[in-house]
Amino acid sequence: MNETLVTLQGWLGSDVDVRSVGETTVASFRVGCTPRRYSRRTESWGDADTQWYRVNAWRQLAEHCADSLRRGDPVVVHGKMSARTFVDKAGVEVSVLEVEAWSVGHDLNRGVSRFTKTARPVESPAPSVTSETSADAREEVTAA
């Protein structure tokens, strides 16, 4: 598989926008990453230009992002990056970098988070097959 996998560490630049695509939920948000650089000339640290990425999370991850993330939160996003070009309403060609998120979480270098595990729906157990049932089934098969 020749995918471009990335891990972004940055800040949520927008609230999480949730929508439905068919019967699937997708959450979209922007992440801004501002690298720090050391200048030997001035012997000081400074911020480089902020790079913005659109992140899309699908299905259950989308719902968890919507419930957990707010604008300004520090996040770590891991996923597949792609570039997309389109023409906006003003007729200008725009290129964007998008990440299809495989995992998203708060950046715990920047603060504390509390995790709440979601309960999985309880599935009804499959009917058990006893030796009597198996014997009856074999008899029916051989009788037919």
Band (pLDDT 50/70/90 cuts) for residue 82 is very high
State the Cα–Cα distance between residues 141 and 73, nearest whole angstrom: 63
- Is-contact 66 58, C-beta < 8 A? no
Other Cβ atoms less than 10 A from the Cβ of 61: the count is 18
The torsion defined by the Cα of 89, 95, 101 and 105, in degrees rounded to 10, comes to -90
Residue with tokens 């979209």: 28
Band (pLDDT 50/70/90 cuts) for residue 143 is very low
pTM for this prediction:
0.72
| Position 23 pLDDT exceeds 70 | yes
φ, ψ at 16 (rounded to 5°)? -75, 125
Bridge partner residues of 39 (DSSP): 44
Domains and CATH numbers, the chain: 5-111 (2.40.50.140)
Residue with tokens 């597949």: 80
pLDDT, one tens digit per residue, over 26-77 is 999 999 999 888 889 989 998 888 999 999 999 999 999 999 999 999 999 9
Exposure b/e, 72-88, CB count within 10 A at least 16 = b:
ebbbbbebeeeeeeeee
Mean pLDDT on 97-111: 92
31 or 122: which leads in pLDDT? 31
State the Cα–Cα distance between residues 48 and 39, nearest whole angstrom: 11
